Amino acid sequence: MTETIITKGKFKHFESGAGEVMLLLHGLMGEMSNFEHIISHFSATHRVIVPLLPIMDSPIKELSMETLVDYVEEFVDEYGLKDIHLMGNSLGGHIGLLYLLRRQELMKSITLTGSSGLFENSMGSTFPRRQNYEFIKNKVQQTFYDPKVATKEIVDGIFEMVNDRNSALRIVITAKSAIRHNLSDKLHEIKVPTLLIWGKQDTITPPFVGEEFHKLIPNSELILLDKCGHAPMMELPKQFNAAFEQFLSKITQVIDN
């Protein structure tokens, strides 16, 4: 996906369409291309915005979940966004939840897919085997139910990332910070409509995680997609977009009535 990135001061983002704001937050090793199917579908009806989280740009000593949430808060304030439909995958969902708990008055809904914040498996203790391409390829393929979704482009990008000592250190620091921010005692405070879309074969945040989010978040809806792993918006984009669109339609109907 080759799209024009908009830069304004320290902020970088992609934007397409017009209408109500749809703010998409990518995961730890994710990127804008993870959302290409959402962007192409919803930019006809929404102002779709994808900020590039500064996981690889912030000073290492300052890198944490708090600074990433600060970045999202400053980004939203800089562009004067409100009535936001926020969607986050994996770490992006976790950051989105922390931001929502700060600034719930700006949010219209939140959608989580494979979100961290309660429990997640990582690449494990074998992760430091950075130079083994087949090892990394296997780990990336395990992210999906269908290993073919892990294209060579995706594998090459992550292989390059984890082989760069600076990038690998940032991944570890951010992952450890995320683990320290368990949200089980905060989720009851969420008041906006919440959609949870989970892959039944998600091995990183297994289905029981989605079920626990559903139990702890009031006014939440859980959809489990079969033959799907950690990134439903990439692996089953038609089903994901249909569920997301129906959710947004119900919110609009409630407001209109």
Q: What is the pLDDT of residue 125?
A: 38
| Residue 127 forms part of a structural domain | no
| Residue 162 forms part of a structural domain | no
Q: Judge whether residue 44 has pLDDT over 90.
A: yes
| Residue 146 forms part of a structural domain | no
Q: Is 207 exposed, middle or buried (0-12, 13-18, 19+ CB in 10 A)?
A: middle
- Decide: 60 and 173 in contact? Cβ < 8 Å: yes
Q: What does pLDDT average to over the chain? A: 91
Q: What is the pLDDT of residue 57?
A: 87
| Residue 98 forms part of a structural domain | yes
Question: What percent of the chain stands above pLDDT 90?
Answer: 73
| Residue 154 forms part of a structural domain | no
For residues 114-123, one letter each, b for 16 or more C-beta atoms within 10 angstroms of the residue's C-beta and e for the rest, the string is bbbbbebebb
- The token duo for 58 is 């912030």
pLDDT classification of 195: cutoffs 50, 70, 90: very high
Residue with tokens 């087949």, as numbered in its chain:
134
- Decide: 109 and 195 in contact? Cβ < 8 Å: yes
Domain containing residue 17: CATH number:
3.40.50.1820
Instruction: For residue 236, give its domain range.
Output: 6-119+180-256
Mean pLDDT in residue range 71-91: 97
**Total domain count, the chain:** 1
| Residue 110 forms part of a structural domain | yes
Question: What percent of the chain stands above pLDDT 70?
Answer: 93
Angle at 74 between CA 70 and CA 76, to 5 degrees: 120
- The residues, any chain, with a CB within 8 Å of residue 171's CB and separated by 6 or more, are 28, 29, 55, 161, 162
Q: What is the pLDDT of residue 256?
A: 59
pLDDT tens digits along 222-237: 999 999 999 999 999 9
Q: What is the pLDDT of residue 29?
A: 82
| Lowest-pLDDT choice from 64-73, 117-126, 211-220 | 117-126
pLDDT tens digits along 116-168: 999 876 544 344 455 688 888 998 999 999 999 999 999 999 998 888 888 88
| Residue 140 forms part of a structural domain | no
Q: What is the pLDDT of residue 14?
A: 95
Q: Judge whether residue 110 has pLDDT over 90.
A: yes
Mean pLDDT in residue range 196-211: 96
Q: What is the pLDDT of residue 126?
A: 41
| Residue 226 forms part of a structural domain | yes
